Structure formats: structure tokens, C-alpha cells
Structure 1
Amino acid sequence: MPDSGNLESVDASQRPDSQSQVRVYAMPPREGALPVEIVQGFLEALTSDDPQFAMARKYLTKEASKDWDPEGSTTVLADGPNTDAGNAGNDADGSRRFSLTGQQVATVDKQHAYRPAAASYSQFVHLSQVGGPGRKEWRIDKPPPGVVLGQSDFQRIYRSVNKYYFAGPSGTGANGPRGLVADPIYIRQRIEPLTETVKALLEGPTNWLDQVVDSRFRSGTRLKDPGKSLAPDDQNRLTVQLNSQADDASQTRCREMAAQLLFTLQDLTPSGVEQVTLQRSNGSMLCVLSQSHAESVAAHRSADRPDYQYFIDEKHRLVRMPANAGSNANPAPVNGILGTGDQPLRSAAVSRDEKRAAGVSRDGKALYTGSLVLEDTLGKAQVRSRATAEEDRLSTPSWDGRGDLWVADRDPKRPRLLWLGKGEGEPVQVEVPGLDGRIEAVRVSADGVRIALLVEGKDGKTSLWIGRVERGEGERPTISVLDPTQAAPRMEEVTAMSWAGGSRLVVVGRESGGVQQMRYVQCDGSVLSRAALPGLTGVKEIAASESEQQPLVAHSDDGIVRLPAGSQWQTVVKEGSAPVYPG
């Protein structure tokens, strides 16, 4: 404890990230509190870990408390709401009115979904006096909608959690494997996080993802006792009793339901959940699934560990090196035509099963595919660009989890996003409504449901957008990327990116007036705590595995470098470019 110096007031929304373990305990209003104290006390109570916001409700009239829905929405402001006394006003009936102002950065809706939403925030708080003739107290009769708090408080109180659902027919195609898709949400991390996450999973996917995923829990399935706290036993086994909607579920369906739960809850407890038992509404057992068997029920591609990392060497060949950070093996050319150097390359992508690769010619004009298993000859180009300038031609390609290939043609006269089923045949032009600008780079998530795009705007700066992939089946499939949302709104420019997990990306860019930095962001546009990475000079390209245990690989002024977990950047080779993991 300090024993000297002045005492200074610290607003709740100015606490640094290092105080993420600080807990705020709300206090009830004091007797005879002034209107400004009531408003400030209410806002402070919103930043507490009060489970049902019971203390915040003490600042409201009975009618206002009944109507107020703190779970309905959360508004995140850059520095918290401004409640200067100068904002106060007196109404003709003797009541008081305060304005709350600030710079809004995001909202969290009733489904717990985070959405960036930069705007000016302005709401009124109205107070009136309640009580008998002898003693009247000021209380809020018109609070702001939902919860409003500052960004630092939001990061302290809430945490990001991935719910998992099965990729639906429009997400994977009729013949595609049913893998799991991450659906990130935000929950209060100290208020029954496991129970609240299970409830959110049962309620179904968020609106943005709903069109392309399926839940194996039938509509209306809920916990038998919503008020009961869920917790694993001392052997990390969790029992979940469901209502009657799940009573007649088949064993196959039940095991799929249990797999959704296991993958959703894997990071919510220090030691994880090793087994889930689902019970019917009468308490009888429905099914049991262990973590070791969950992968056989649902493909969780973000957990797959690739065998190799790849890049283009100084001879413009596709080469590979073991993905294990501890390996000292030198990079070696891949098998097949793309490793010979007969066709010089400037970028490449490797399929997720590491059996095929796609390479863009050194001049950027042509896209070729080839086997990494068999010796073959160079076939005809799958795609050609007609752009005059090299930098306006083909982007680095990307393979999705079902084996389809994506690439952007940056020709200013004819910019296109192209899709090749199984990496061959006639390319299909992808419709991307709602996206204003030219696509510069493409990365498809392992589940094939999301696509990350670097888009150059009219100001010449590139920003990161995430779109939802929807597929229409037929003789000639139709592919669309819908509802694009900005994933790194705080960065003025993003120059490189890569998927780094089911819902996480690593990005290279800079904020307004800042220097180049690397950090992790969520695909919903939120920034993860402790997201910054060790500095590296002149990063041009970045690659991450969707298995979070694998090291980052980058192309920088120091050559090809990689970052093992808990270590610093290490140089692999001085000459090389375009590092990639499978995908």
C-alpha cells in the first residue's frame, strides 16, 4: 500500500487493462443523495459483478426497474459515458434530466453478439422523487437502454467465448463434411460463465451466422432448471439436464449435441471439460461423450495441426519446413511441379490435407495447381489476369476446408473474386454485394463459412472485412459472400492478415498516427486482451495456423521468420517470401 502522495479519483472506465482482475462492488444509494450522485452511482453499478444488477436497480423507481432490461443490449463507449454536471436540466414538474454522451465503439445484442458500431452516443436519464411526504428520494425513472459502459470496463467484465455449431448445407454444400463452426459471443466472465455459455449455445446461433450453420439441439431445447448452476465434478465431468424437447433425441443426435457442448466449453474452466453427460427431463441418461471421442463425432478443423509450413524461396520455388517450432530441418522443395522452379512463383497456397497446392506465376498473370504427392507436369493455367501492372494481377490463393480454391483478380478494369470447385474446372465469379472497394487479399476460414478480405478503399488504404459464404447447388453453383463486416475497425490500415483459430485472426497494420503493429483480433471486430505481439521490422506477409499451438511465420525485413510460443522471433532464412500454412 502507498504511504504517501495525493489521493486521486479514478473513473471506472479509466482503469488499465492490467487491472482486469479488479472486481467492482456496487454500493446502494445513500440517504438523501443528490440527482448527480444517483446517476453516477447507477453507472458505476453497471460496471460491477452484480449477477442480476440488483444494486443498479436500487437507483431506479419500481416501475423503471420492472421495464429495464440490462440483458437486452450493451453499449460500449471509448471512455465511458460523460455525465458532467453541466448536462443537467430541470423539468417543469421539478424532476431532473441528465444527458449521457460519449463515443460509441460497439454494441453487444441480446444474443451476446459483438458488433463494431462507431457513432456518437447520446441518451437522456430522467429522475423524479419518490417516497412519502416525510422523506423523498431521487430515483431514475427513465434509464438508458440496456447497459452502457466504457471500453476498459467491458474488457474487464466480459470475455469472448466460441459457441460451436455444425456447418449447414449452404455453408458446406450438400456433399461437404459437417465440420464445426465457431460463433463468438461475449459473456460476463465472473457471473456463472459456464452456465451462461450453455444457455447461449442452446438458444442457437447468432443472426449473422444462422443462415449457414445448424444446431443439433432442437428449437426450444433449454436447461431443465435454468436457475441451477452448472459445474464439472472433480474429474472434469459435466452433467447437463435438458427439458422435454430433447427427450426423444436419437443416440447419434445426442452425441452431436454433446460434441457441440464439449468444444464450446473447452476453454471455460482451468482444466477443461473431459466428459459430458446429457440427461432427459426426468433425469434419465440420454448419452455420454468424452473429449477423446468428440473428434470422431464432429470435425473440428481448427484443432488440426499441419505437418509443414511453406514459403517461396529465392529460386521462386515452393518449399516447406516442419511445422514443429523445435525442428532445425532446412527448408526443402515440395514434391511435384511447383517445387521444381520450372514455373517461377511469387505466391502459393497449400490444400488443408497437404496433398495439392496452387501457385501464382512470378508475374502474377497465371494461377496453376499441382500435386504435392505425385510427380506431374505443369498443366494449363486455371485462371489468367489481364491487368497491365503486376501488382494489379492475381492475389495469393486460398483453399477452404472442403477443398475449394479461392483467388482475387485485382485488375482495375475487371476486379473479380473467383472460386474453383476442388481447385479445378471453370472458375466461378463470386458475388460480393455490399462491399465497396477492390479485393486485395483473400483468406478462407477452415470451416469454409467465413472469408477474410483485405479491401482497398477509395483513399488507397486497405481494411479487413469478414463475409459469410453462401453456396447454391446446381449444375453451375452460385457462390456469394454476404453481410461483410469490418474486423479491425480501430486500425486505419491493415496490410496483411491470416486466420489464427476458429474465430481469431492475426493482422498487421497501424492505427491512425501510429506505427506498424501485429495483433490478434476476433472476426466479430473485437480486440482480444493482450492481443499485441512482439515487434518485428517491416512485416510484409504473415501466416498463422488455425491450430493455436503452432508458431507464427512472417516475411519481414529479416527474411522468413517465425515466432514459437513464449519466445522471440527467429530467422529461418534471409531470402524468401509469401509464407503460408495449409489453407
Structure 2
Amino acid sequence: MRAMAYAVCGAILLAGCASMPDAGDLRDVESTPRQDSEVRVFAMPPRENAPPAEIVQGFLEALTSDDPTYATARQYLTDDAARRWRPERSTTVLATGPYIQVDRTTGHADSDDFAFTLGGSRMARVDERQSYAPTSGDYSQPVHLTRQKKSGQWRIDVAPQGVVMGQSDFQRNYMSVNKYYFASNTRTGTPVTAVADPVFVRRRVDAMTQMVRSVLSGPTSWLDRVVRSSFPTGTALRAGVSMLAPDDQGKLTLPLNERAARAGRRQCSEMATQMLFTLRNLTPTVDTVALQGPDGRTLCTLDEGRAETVAARGSMKRPDYLYFLDDKRRLVRMAAGDAGTHADPVPGALGEGAQKFGSAAVSWDERTAAGVGYDNRSLFVGSMAPGAQLGAPVAQSRGGTEDERLTPPSWDGRGDLWVADRDPARPRLMVLERGAGRPLDVQVPGLDGRVEAVRVAADGVRIALVVRHKDAKSSLLIGRIERDGSGDQPEVSVLELRSAAPELEDVTAMSWAGDSRLVVAGREQGGVQTLRYVQVDGSTPEGPAPAALTGVESIAASADDRSPLVADSVDGIVRMPSGSQWQKVVKDGAAPVYPG
């Protein structure tokens, strides 16, 4: 009965799409209306003696179905075209379903060929490594049909490579999942650091096996230069393995080929950690991973508790405190899970009040803090230990006004401190190794504008920048941090900047809010300030946006989603615990931060 219900539902959905004549004006191929993600859509094969336009429309509709191998979509193609077509090459996402335009030079009486053009407005593209990237501009691709000599049926002999669909169909068919690798630039003596690499997989086409194969295939091209996989090159699932599922105890066994058998005990633990972090992001039902060699022998077994000892991950560490500046511009703190409003000065000089601060940042181990003076001219670093003194500034700006001087600082998981100087005469991004020494200028090729805010991910591999452009608008960009210590002087670069919030034209505040997610305050074109979550790849994560808040100056989120969202607004310091509304913490306070 369930199967019949699914089939009827799929038939109704497909039948609801408008038919398309062989001539006339442009017509849209309607995207499937947004619906519950559990509703499955089944493709319909070509109807006997269907006209060319119906064949094209049926093919496009088949691309949005849950057919795992696109077998039905291939029925709309000639045999040769079906062999050439590679749906896995890419997925193009349009604002709405693609429209079909008739090529009027074809389709005459007794003609055996017919041509169309598929068109639309591009929104994004998912490449063959399953990596998402926002795009824009017009989409235009030719489709050609021929009448089969033996059967007399119309079939497509020229089709666009990859898959194309409207945004609503994409949201129904695909979901974003983080797969995990390890930072390749981890400093000696520091823990192995896991880095999230978000990809999009088809939601109802054995997502678990898709994700295992995706991890084994390696990181996406954007991250490839700064992360490593512990799986030996060539590791794959054992031949004949087509579907994976955990047992009733939450244990997933992965049968691997002979390449995996070469790994030692430590390497095997890292391999299992990568898989467990990835699969836990997909579903909480997996809590143990067992890697199995080609002979059926268990190579290693690892559960969630042991995985946390193998590698550090930002979302696993719950902060001890929330920090902010009080009315005396001292750095104060309160327990991260505290529902009260009382805050105490931090130990050491940063909490004494002799030096007033305009912004601050606390290291990930919550032992050291950095503060920018109240006039934004000088950057100080000090220990948060009783009696600790504050030394001379570690960096200074010559900017003429407060808005032309230092940004709020940010710590990465390596213990390095980042800050930008907004001085129009010498704008620059800087990093101080371990928060000390001479600031090192960071090269940012392709940067079009001035850095207004800096937030480094816990993994030390990715950095979020708010950049103000020449048109006075600001955008949120994500860059990849590359380090080169081969020369006399270490070199640090931020490369391949990409937009994380393309729909916002004026970003005013942001913070990391997970392994691959940020929370952003900004304005859409012609709109008012809004709060929303965004992914590092520019996609919009599932789930509700934060409740509206007026006049957000800064925002703080923890990578651990159990900690409340905190903001500096017109009402002072406010917080929003999960599932609740904004609550006032203190009226006279500013610049809230979690560690990082």
C-alpha cells in the first residue's frame, strides 16, 4: 500500500506540470512545489508517440526524481546519447525550473529532427566532487531530438551534460553534509585538527553510502591544498559492496579494499575518526565505526568517545565562559550556560580596568586574551591568570579615525592571533604567531576592498572576512589559509576568496556558528537588517533563521550549538538560548565573544 501511495503521489506531481506545445512562446517547466522531504517522487517513462516537447519535459522531470541511477531519464535519450550522458558531472541550480524555447528552424512537416534551448537564471552549481558554489547569469543549453527510424519515437540525441533543476527541486532532492579531513598545517605539539568539508548529496539515494564514497574520494578542490586524508591513496569499498547500513547497535562496518590494510594502528584510528565525524553529521544513529580489510579481518573499531581523543573539532568543545566588555570597558565573563546576568572581571590586567578596550578575543584554551584599545589604535595580549600584567602593544595602527584603525582580533586553533588594520594608507591583514612577536603581513591576492572584520575558524584553515568595497557595500568572504615556512621568513596567504552570503549586499556582523556554518547580520538589497545562518560554501542551511533583532553591532556564536547566540544590540548585550527568544543580559556592555 505504501508503494502504491508513493507511485500515485509521484504520478500526480508529474501530471501537475504544464504541457508544452511544439511551437509558440517560451514556457516554463514547473519546479515541483516545495513539500515534505519524506515525499518521494518517481519518474515516468516516455509515453508512446509522445511529441518532442513532451519528451524534453519528461526528461527534465525525470532529473528531479529519486531514481538512483537516472535509469528513467535515460529512456528519453537515444542509446548513443545515454552512453555519453554523465549526470554525475554537475548539478546546475536555477531560480525556477528551466524554460524551453523552440528552435523555429527545425520541426517542419515530415522532419526527423527537432531542437530546443533550455534557459533560466543560474543560482548555483554542484560540481563532480559534490562541492556547492553560488553562480549567477543566464543558463542556455541546446537540446536536440531525432525520430528513431525503427520505432518512429522521438528521443533526445544531444542533451546537456550533468543535471539541471529549479531551486525548490534542488532543496527537496539534495542535502548538505560535512565530511571531515585533517588540517595539514597543524603545529608540532598541537592536537590533530578536523576540518569540515561540506558537500551536497542526494537525500533519498542511500546517502550513507554516498558519503562513505565521498570521504574515500578525497576533499573538494577548494580545500585540497590545506587538508589531508588518513586513508591510503586508492582506498575504496570492497568490490561488490553497494549499500551500507548500521546494525541495531549503531555500529557501521566498512569493508575496504587491500589499500586500507596497509594502515598502522594510529592511522587506522584517524581513518575511523574521519568516517565517524562524517556519519555522525549525517545521522546520529551511527556511534561506532569498524573498518574491515579485504579478508574480512577487523582493522580497527572506534566509538565517539575515542574519536574525540584522536582529533580536535570546534563543535565538540563547549566554551567555559561567555566574554564581553562591561560599562568600564573591562573584559568580564560569565559561565557559558549561566541564565543569570552577573559577570566577573577576568583575572589579570585585562579585567582590572586600567586599560580600556574597544574589542577583545579569547584564545581557544581560554588562558590568554587579546584586546584592542578603546580608540582602536593598539592591540594588547595578556594572560588571564591572577596577577598577570599587560605588556606593550603587539601591534598598532596609524589610521586617522577609530573606524580606520584595528578591527576586533580573532584567535585560531593553532594559537595564532589575527587582526586587520583599516588604515587607508596601508590596509593589511596581520597574524601574530602564538599571539606574540612581530606581526606578519598576510597576502590576500584578489582582495577587492578593505577588511572590516576577521573571524578565523577553529581549524586554522578557513577565515571569514567582512570586506568593504569601493561602492561602500560590504560582503562576507571565506578564504583558505595557506602557510609556507620553507624560506627564511614564514609566509601566510589567504587564497581563493568566495562569497558566503551572496544575497546580502551589506554585512555588518558575523561569527562562526559551527564547523561549516556562520551566523550573519546584514541587509538584502532594499531591505532591513536581518539575521541568518549561512554555510561556508554560500548555501543556506536547513532550519529556521535566528529571531529578528534590532541594531546588531556585533554577534557571537559558539561552534557548539548548545551555547546561546549572543549579540550587542540597541538593547545592550542580549542572548538567545536554543528554542527561545532574545533575553537581555546587561544594558551597558559591548563586544560579546566566545573563545576564538
TM-score w.r.t. the length of structure 2 is 0.93
How do 1:160-309 and structure 2 match up within 5 A?
A: 160-169=176-185, 172-174=186-188, 176-225=190-239, 227-269=241-283, 271-309=284-322
SS at match of 2:135: strand
Q: Which one of 567, 585, 588 corresponds to residue 575 of structure 1? A: 588
Give the conservation status (yes or no) of the 8 Å contact 2:341–2:585. no
Taking a change above 3 Å as real, the CA distance of residues 110 and 424 of structure 1, as seen in their structure-2 partners, is: same
The residue identity in structure 2 corresponding to 1:401 is G
Give the conservation status (yes or no) of the 8 Å contact 1:12–1:153. no
Q: 2:568 matched to 1:555?
A: yes
Whole-Å separation in 2 of the counterparts to 1:334 and 1:306: 15
Whole-Å separation in 2 of the counterparts to 1:511 and 1:266: 34
How do 1:326-365 and structure 2 match up within 5 A?
A: 326-328=338-340, 330-365=342-377
* Greater mean deviation of Cα atoms: 359-368 or 242-251: 242-251
1:334: Cα distance to partner? 1.0
Q: Which one of 468, 485, 492 corresponds to residue 505 of structure 2? A: 492
1:417 aligned partner? 429
1:174: Cα distance to partner? 4.8
Whole-Å separation in 2 of the counterparts to 1:18 and 1:518: 25
1:95 aligned partner? 113
Whole-Å separation in 2 of the counterparts to 1:470 and 1:379: 30
Give the conservation status (yes or no) of the 8 Å contact 2:17–2:29. no
1:517: Cα distance to partner? 1.1
Q: Which one of 89, 105, 125 corresponds to residue 143 of structure 2? A: 125
1:360: Cα distance to partner? 0.5
Deviation digits for residues 436-489 of structure 1, max 9, x if unmatched? 110000000000000000001111011011110011125532111011111111
Taking a change above 3 Å as real, the CA distance of residues 17 and 411 of structure 1, as seen in their structure-2 partners, is: farther
Q: 2:85 matched to 1:59?
A: no
SS at match of 2:142: strand
Deviation digits for residues 507-563 of structure 1, max 9, x if unmatched? 111221222111111101111123422111111211100112211001111111111
Q: 2:538 matched to 1:525?
A: yes
The residue identity in structure 1 corresponding to 2:121 is Q
Q: Which one of 302, 315, 325 corresponds to residue 312 of structure 1? A: 325
The residue identity in structure 2 corresponding to 1:241 is P
* Greater mean deviation of Cα atoms: 345-354 or 91-100: 91-100
1:315: Cα distance to partner? 1.1
Q: 2:90 matched to 1:73?
A: yes
1:30 aligned partner? 47
Give the conservation status (yes or no) of the 8 Å contact 1:13–1:152. no
SS at match of 2:361: strand
Give the conservation status (yes or no) of the 8 Å contact 2:467–2:476. yes
Whole-Å separation in 2 of the counterparts to 1:401 and 1:460: 32
1:3 aligned partner? none
Whole-Å separation in 2 of the counterparts to 1:262 and 1:12: 40
Q: Which one of 378, 381, 395 corresponds to residue 366 of structure 1? A: 378
2:25 aligned partner? none
Taking a change above 3 Å as real, the CA distance of residues 175 and 12 of structure 1, as seen in their structure-2 partners, is: farther
1:159 aligned partner? 175
Taking a change above 3 Å as real, the CA distance of residues 352 and 226 of structure 1, as seen in their structure-2 partners, is: farther
Whole-Å separation in 2 of the counterparts to 1:226 and 1:81: 37
Deviation digits for residues 304-335 of structure 1, max 9, x if unmatched? 000011111111111111111x5325112111
Taking only the aligned residue pairs, the percentage that are identical comes to 55
Q: Which one of 56, 65, 79 corresponds to residue 48 of structure 1? A: 65
1:40: Cα distance to partner? 0.7
1:376: Cα distance to partner? 2.2
1:576: Cα distance to partner? 1.3
Give the conservation status (yes or no) of the 8 Å contact 1:12–1:47. no
1:94: Cα distance to partner? 3.5
The residue identity in structure 2 corresponding to 1:112 is Q
Q: 2:125 matched to 1:112?
A: no
1:575: Cα distance to partner? 1.6
Whole-Å separation in 2 of the counterparts to 1:12 and 1:302: 41
The residue identity in structure 2 corresponding to 1:103 is S
The residue identity in structure 1 corresponding to 2:570 is D
Give the conservation status (yes or no) of the 8 Å contact 2:196–2:515. yes
Q: 2:162 matched to 1:146?
A: yes
Unpaired segments of 5 or more residues in structure 2? 1-14, 19-27
1:4 aligned partner? none
Taking a change above 3 Å as real, the CA distance of residues 530 and 12 of structure 1, as seen in their structure-2 partners, is: farther
Q: Which one of 99, 106, 116 corresponds to residue 82 of structure 1? A: 99
Whole-Å separation in 2 of the counterparts to 1:491 and 1:402: 31
1:448 aligned partner? 460
2:400 aligned partner? 388
Give the conservation status (yes or no) of the 8 Å contact 1:521–1:531. no
Whole-Å separation in 2 of the counterparts to 1:121 and 1:511: 24
Unpaired segments of 5 or more residues in structure 1? 1-6
SS at match of 2:350: helix
